[in-house]
């Protein structure tokens, strides 16, 4: 195991977590990231169940709690901004406030995970895998920059639209299952003066909805919007520029009330705007030869599960642990990785589908009554799913 050369593609959540564990076990780790620098922005994400234990074992849980969104509650408003429901017990994105789970911004968590790693991890930005040639003893990688290097193992932690997965396993269309929703996220000033609070905008019968929440000690706010569309991601997203995606959001919300027109004005100048389909990645195998997939690249549950971050953190821990247990034998380790993790992943993905049905069933209901009932039902099912895996001690 010691000295095993590992290339990890992707420096968001799963990549830095895996790099931490592999360096700790003596591997020579390189992380390559397509972006020219750490990516700003992104959703508020959750660390739950066994992922909390992973972070505790990494020594980063206290730091994650310090950087949590710290929300006190949420409100639901109608087109006119009239409050129709309010609670200080839970939020739409983070679940129960009094519970052990932590909600944190994606970019904050990514920064914490990168900082946890030691000096033996090499981060390379503004580059990406251009081609892979697997041999019996190593993987020859050519990078977009033209550099060529060989590794013992390659792990793709590149997200839903993983290019490495396409190179090794086949086209995205074979694995991506669109759930009929698109999601947009961007940062705005906290001009509403929200104090660690979240406001959900939804009208009865609406096929879309918005959410805004204060973050970073109320110094800014993040906007989340979603709308229903059965148009396939390959048609909606394929080759489109950021400006085209912003135009899609603007068109979908052209008739929206409350503060949405002003939120859209800020969207046009937001440098951290992100827009993508709500989809799952379902695969029969997450490994092939000396290449493995981690997190959303191999088993995205979609935001409907609320578990993407936790699956990536747990997946990183299990993959690194099984490589350690097998003393670097990738064949044995990869088989154990899938065997150990797949029931947990399946439970998470199935929960996302049932959660989607539950959310759709509330669209024709009064927002004032639908919110509490739907959340209570979802939390009960989520608890069983979240705790369906007991971590091994590697």
8-12, 111-115, 264-268, 301-305: range with lowest mean pLDDT = 301-305
Q: What does the pLDDT read at residue 366?
A: 58
pTM, full prediction:
0.93
| pLDDT single digits (tens) 342-356 | 999 999 999 888 888
pLDDT band at 94 (very low <50, low <70, confident <90, very high): confident
Residue 388 has pLDDT above 80, yes or no: yes
A 10 A CB-CB count for 178 gives 18
Residue 53 has pLDDT above 70, yes or no: yes
Angle made by CA atoms 85, 89, 95, in degrees to the nearest 5: 100
pLDDT band at 370 (very low <50, low <70, confident <90, very high): low
Angle made by CA atoms 14, 18, 24, in degrees to the nearest 5: 155
| 3-state SS, residue 183 | strand
Read off φ and ψ for residue 270, nearest 5 degrees. Answer: -75, 120
pLDDT band at 118 (very low <50, low <70, confident <90, very high): confident
pLDDT band at 119 (very low <50, low <70, confident <90, very high): confident
Indicate the average pLDDT of the chain: 91
Structural domains present in the chain: 5-70+100-175+280-386 (3.50.50.60), 178-271 (no CATH)
> Whose CA is closest to 277, among 195, 349, 182?
182
Better-predicted residue by pLDDT, 233 or 283:
283
Q: What does the pLDDT read at residue 363?
A: 60
Average pLDDT over residues 50-73: 96
> Whose CA is closest to 47, among 128, 98, 118, 106?
106
Q: What does the pLDDT read at residue 51?
A: 97
pLDDT band at 135 (very low <50, low <70, confident <90, very high): very high
The token pair that represents 11 in the structure block = 């420096």
Q: What does the pLDDT read at residue 228?
A: 87
Distance CA 253, CA 271 (A): 20
Residue 383 has pLDDT above 80, yes or no: no
Torsion angle in degrees (nearest 10) through CA of 229, 274, 197, 74? 20
Torsion angle in degrees (nearest 10) through CA of 101, 103, 107, 111? -40
| Beta strands at 208-215 and 220-228: parallel, antiparallel or unpaired | antiparallel
Q: What does the pLDDT read at residue 131?
A: 98
The token pair that represents 376 in the structure block = 């209570």
Report the chain's C-alpha Rg in angstroms.
Answer: 21
> Whose CA is closest to 38, among 7, 60, 18, 10?
10
> Whose CA is closest to 51, among 335, 301, 284, 333?
301
Residue 365 has pLDDT above 70, yes or no: no
Q: What does the pLDDT read at residue 294?
A: 98
Helices (H) and strands (E) in the chain, counts: 12, 20
pLDDT band at 367 (very low <50, low <70, confident <90, very high): low
A 10 A CB-CB count for 200 gives 21
Q: What does the pLDDT read at residue 384?
A: 77
> Whose CA is closest to 311, among 180, 160, 182?
160
Average pLDDT over residues 271-292: 96
| pLDDT single digits (tens) 187-242 | 999 999 999 999 999 865 555 689 999 999 999 999 999 888 888 998 888 777 89
pLDDT band at 1 (very low <50, low <70, confident <90, very high): confident
């Amino acid at each position: 195991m010691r000295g095993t050369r590992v290339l990890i593609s992707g420096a968001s959540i799963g990549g830095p977590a895996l790099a931490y564990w592999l360096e700790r076990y003596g591997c020579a780790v390189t992380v390559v990231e397509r972006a020219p620098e750490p990516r700003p922005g992104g959703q508020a994400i959750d660390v739950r169940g066994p992922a909390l234990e992973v972070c505790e074992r990494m020594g980063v849980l206290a730091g994650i709690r310090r950087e949590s969104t710290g929300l006190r509650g949420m409100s639901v408003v109608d087109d006119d901004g009239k409050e129709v429901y309010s609670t200080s017990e839970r939020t739409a994105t983070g679940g129960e406030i009094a519970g052990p789970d932590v909600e944190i911004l994606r970019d904050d968590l990514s920064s914490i995970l990168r900082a946890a790693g030691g000096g033996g991890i090499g981060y390379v930005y503004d580059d990406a895998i251009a081609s892979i040639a697997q041999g019996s003893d190593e993987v020859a990688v050519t990078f977009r920059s033209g550099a060529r290097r060989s590794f013992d193992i390659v792990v793709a932690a590149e997200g839903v639209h993983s290019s490495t997965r396409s190179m090794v396993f086949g086209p995205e269309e074979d694995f991506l299952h669109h759930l009929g929703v698109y999601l947009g996220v961007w940062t705005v000033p906290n001009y509403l003066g929200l104090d660690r609070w979240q406001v959900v905008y939804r009208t009865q019968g609406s096929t879309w909805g918005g959410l805004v929440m204060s973050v970073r000690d109320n110094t800014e706010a993040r906007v989340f919007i979603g709308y229903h569309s059965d148009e396939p991601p390959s048609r909606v997203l394929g080759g489109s520029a950021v400006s085209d995606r912003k135009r899609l959001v603007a068109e979908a919300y052209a008739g929206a009330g409350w503060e949405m027109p002003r939120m859209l004005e800020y969207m046009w100048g937001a440098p951290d705007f992100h827009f993508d389909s709500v989809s799952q990645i379902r695969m029969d195998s997450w490994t092939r030869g000396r290449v493995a997939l981690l997190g959303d690249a191999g088993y995205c549950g979609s935001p409907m599960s609320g578990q993407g971050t936790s699956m990536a953190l747990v997946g990183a821990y299990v993959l690194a642990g099984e490589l350690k247990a097998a003393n670097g034998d990738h064949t044995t380790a990869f088989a154990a990785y899938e065997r150990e993790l797949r029931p947990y992943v399946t439970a998470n993905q199935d929960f996302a589908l049932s959660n989607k049905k539950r959310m759709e069933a509330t669209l024709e209901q009064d927002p004032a009554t639908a919110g509490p009932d739907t959340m209570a039902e979802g939390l009960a099912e989520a608890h069983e799913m979240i705790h369906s895996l007991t971590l091994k001690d590697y």
